[in-house]
Chain A
Amino acid sequence: MAIVDLSEVRKSYVKGREEVEVLTGIDLAVEEADFLALMGPSGSGKTTLLNIIGGIDSATSGSVQVSGQDLAAMSRRQLAKWRSENIGFVFQFYNLLPVLSARRNVELPLLLTKLSGKQRRSNADTALEIVGLEDRARHKPGELSGGQQQRVAIARAIVADAPILVCDEPTGDLDRDTADEILELLEILNRDHGKTIVMVTHDPKAASHARHVVHLDKGQLSTETDEEAA
């Protein structure tokens, strides 16, 4: 069964007096433990689609079923709780809280759980260990390189054991070698930890790490969808 199941998803914005349609009837199914790359030119609607899958934006019409939940039927409060349990987010610019150490950043999603402080710290340390940053737990984001910050962001995304990771250009701000390291880490999370990953990228080399690639253009999935990655 598809863990992400989109049907006839449309999204439009009102800009001034004009209605701009960003997504024009998307049908997409992502199987559990898949690693899907969403490619497309700038403005094609791929980030909007990712946001809808992640439950931080809503479709104008159509059906959005993720982890067996109809997101359109959920309140903002229910969506917040659902996100905390089901989705891990990785952004292009890391979006870490600069005032917190790496460990405290990773611990953030666990503040919403009933875990004790000790258990939270332990889980955060485990997540940091998975991304290879156990020795940087006390460092603040400003004291870490871009690649290290993105690893912290990935640790934050996986610390609550969310089954789905949505990654928006996770290597867009990194040099080639560091980008490869991050992509390999995502591959490991997909392969060894069974995480379903939906990644937006405009970089074909990044997309090559995914199991499947779909292309989005002018709000529509192109015919070259479901192409098996190399």
Chain B
Amino acid sequence: MGLMWANLFRRKTRTFLTLFSLLVAFLLFVLLRAVAAPFAGGGVSVDGADRLVVTSKYSIIDLLPLSQLAEIQRVPGVEAVTHQTWFGGNYQDPANFFPKYPVEPRAYFDMYPEFAIDPAQLDAFESTRTGIVVEEGMLARFGWSIGDRIPIEGDIWALKDGSRLWQFDLVGTYRHRDPGEGAPVALLMHYDYFDEARSFEEGAVGWYTVRVSDPEQAPAISGAIDALFENSPSPTKTSTEAEFARSFAAQIGDIALMATGILSAVFFTILLLTANTMSQSLRERIPELAVLKTVGFSDARTSLLVVGESVLLCVLGALLGVGLGALLLPVASVATQQFMGPVSMSLDILLQSVAFAVALGLVVGALPALTAQRLRIVEALRRG
């Protein structure tokens, strides 16, 4: 190990530049993996889920009739049902993006007991037709106070009079009950007001959220709900919240695929760069490797030494990148949580990074290691 370490830093500038490149690559890896993680993977089984989401079968942007709520409620095993709709809209500037949902005030907070709201504020939300509640961090972000009138320009939904300027009254805030968790940054408005005031699609909702009494029965309940509307004008697709979130975000594009594409390009470049570093390093010390063999290092041990250096370099770069990523993710999380929830460093990402670094090191070190293994002592000593 000491020998590998010493060899690695024989040309400090070159090693530091390579390490920096690896650091940047793995930092990018960490950030993109963290951001793409919620979008990755295929369908998630509804087995064991206590909350299900019912959307239109063909596209989550297709609306569903509100009349389905009562029918869903009657499905055996369904404990509660509520609905939400995507409002879109802008506050002052499109850059101030945050989701806005028309909801049933009390039913919403009953459905999501992990979100805490002051009972008086919930009463106010329920009784104020133009009332809204927001995630508590938004007060500081936009300089709002309870009682403020908040104008939102509707980009999807216009009012019946044709105007697009919706006026709401801020009556409360909500937060996650667990201080370690962040509640989704969003604005919740009164569905009844939204439904009466909008100029089209009256009586339609975006999706239903269903709480089941027995999570073990979730697959059966999911099937029963979809069967109920199979032959209706609005067939449904029932899935988990995680799957719904993925489908929702996929409207932006295939985030996971984009992340994979970017990372592939970055790592291919890094592979070439690191391979070049290792090849140069090997060429410079062919006679030294011959000396090692002369004193008794076997072919296998010599090649192991070379490939070990390569792996050490890559793992070191990866750990630096992951470390910096862990420091930066909380900052990135502030920017992302408004539309996709918080992103965070996970053990999974750390392990993936290390595994990837080891694999990269093995690939990069393979050819120099082979050269070292095949080295003929007498010929190599002549190069000294």
Q: Which label, helix, strand, loop or mixed, suits the secondary structure of the A interface?
A: helix
* Interchain CA distance A84-B288 in the complex, whole Å: 16
Would you give the shortest CB distance from A220 to chain B, in whole angstroms? 21
Interface residues of A in 130-172 (CB under 8 A from B): 156, 160
* Interchain CA distance A100-B203 in the complex, whole Å: 79
Q: Which residues of chain B have C-beta atoms less than 8 A from A89's C-beta?
A: 294-295
Would you give the shortest CB distance from B55 to chain A, in whole angstroms? 63
* Interchain CA distance A57-B381 in the complex, whole Å: 12
Beta-carbon contact of A91 and B296 below 8 Å: no
Would you give the shortest CB distance from B286 to chain A, in whole angstroms? 12
Q: Which residues of chain A have C-beta atoms less than 8 A from B287's C-beta?
A: 95
Beta-carbon contact of A156 and B295 below 8 Å: yes
Q: Which residues of chain A have C-beta atoms less than 8 A from B112's C-beta?
A: none
* Interchain CA distance A76-B378 in the complex, whole Å: 13
Closest to A54 in B: B294
Q: A85-B296, A112-B296 are in contact. Are A56 and B9 (CB under 8 A)?
A: no
B261 part of interface (Cβ distance < 8 Å): no
Interface string of A81-96 (1 = CB under 8 A from B): 1011100010101010
Give the contacting residue for A57; candidates B297, B300, B377; CB below 8 A. Answer: B377
Interface residues of B in 1-19 (CB under 8 A from A): 2-3, 6-7, 9-10
A41 part of interface (Cβ distance < 8 Å): no
Q: Which residues of chain B have C-beta atoms less than 8 A from A76's C-beta?
A: 298-299
A51 part of interface (Cβ distance < 8 Å): yes
Would you give the shortest CB distance from A90 to chain B, in whole angstroms? 11
Would you give the shortest CB distance from B302 to chain A, in whole angstroms? 9
Would you give the shortest CB distance from B83 to chain A, in whole angstroms? 69
B interface size (C-beta, 8 A): 23
Would you give the shortest CB distance from B285 to chain A, in whole angstroms? 8
Give the contacting residue for B298; candidates A81, A100, A156; CB below 8 A. Answer: A81
Beta-carbon contact of B300 and A83 below 8 Å: no
* Interchain CA distance A80-B384 in the complex, whole Å: 20
* Interchain CA distance A95-B293 in the complex, whole Å: 12
Closest to A117 in B: B2
Q: A95-B287, A99-B10, A100-B6 are in contact. Are A108 and B295 (CB under 8 A)?
A: yes
Give the contacting residue for B384; candidates A85, A93, A99, A112; CB below 8 A. Answer: A93
A115 part of interface (Cβ distance < 8 Å): no
* Interchain CA distance A75-B145 in the complex, whole Å: 83
Beta-carbon contact of B377 and A56 below 8 Å: yes
Would you give the shortest CB distance from B271 to chain A, in whole angstroms? 25
B292 part of interface (Cβ distance < 8 Å): yes
Give the contacting residue for A83; candidates B6, B288, B294, B381; CB below 8 A. Answer: B294
Beta-carbon contact of B299 and A80 below 8 Å: yes
Q: Which residues of chain A have C-beta atoms less than 8 A from B291's C-beta?
A: 95, 97
* Interchain CA distance A160-B298 in the complex, whole Å: 16
Closest to A111 in B: B3
Q: Which residues of chain A have C-beta atoms less than 8 A from B296's C-beta?
A: 80-81, 83-85, 109, 112, 160
* Interchain CA distance A89-B384 in the complex, whole Å: 15
Q: Which residues of chain A have C-beta atoms less than 8 A from B9's C-beta?
A: 99
Q: A95-B287, A95-B291, A97-B288 are in contact. Are A56 and B378 (CB under 8 A)?
A: yes
Beta-carbon contact of A80 and B7 below 8 Å: no
Beta-carbon contact of A77 and B298 below 8 Å: yes
Beta-carbon contact of B292 and A108 below 8 Å: yes
Beta-carbon contact of A95 and B384 below 8 Å: yes
Interface string of B9-51 (1 = CB under 8 A from A): 1100000000000000000000000000000000000000000
Would you give the shortest CB distance from A24 to chain B, in whole angstroms? 19
Q: Which residues of chain A have C-beta atoms less than 8 A from B294's C-beta?
A: 54, 56, 83, 89, 95
Would you give the shortest CB distance from A92 to chain B, in whole angstroms? 10
Would you give the shortest CB distance from A195 to chain B, in whole angstroms? 16
Q: A57-B377, A100-B6 are in contact. Are A77 and B295 (CB under 8 A)?
A: no
A98 part of interface (Cβ distance < 8 Å): yes
A10 part of interface (Cβ distance < 8 Å): no
A104 part of interface (Cβ distance < 8 Å): yes
* Interchain CA distance A91-B7 in the complex, whole Å: 21
Closest 9 CB pairs of A and B: A84-B296, A99-B6, A80-B298, A56-B377, A109-B295, A95-B291, A99-B10, A57-B378, A83-B296
A77-B300, A104-B6, A108-B3 known; 12 new pairs, CB 8 Å cut-off, are A80-B298, A80-B301, A81-B296, A84-B295, A89-B294, A95-B287, A95-B291, A95-B294, A97-B6, A97-B291, A99-B9, A108-B292
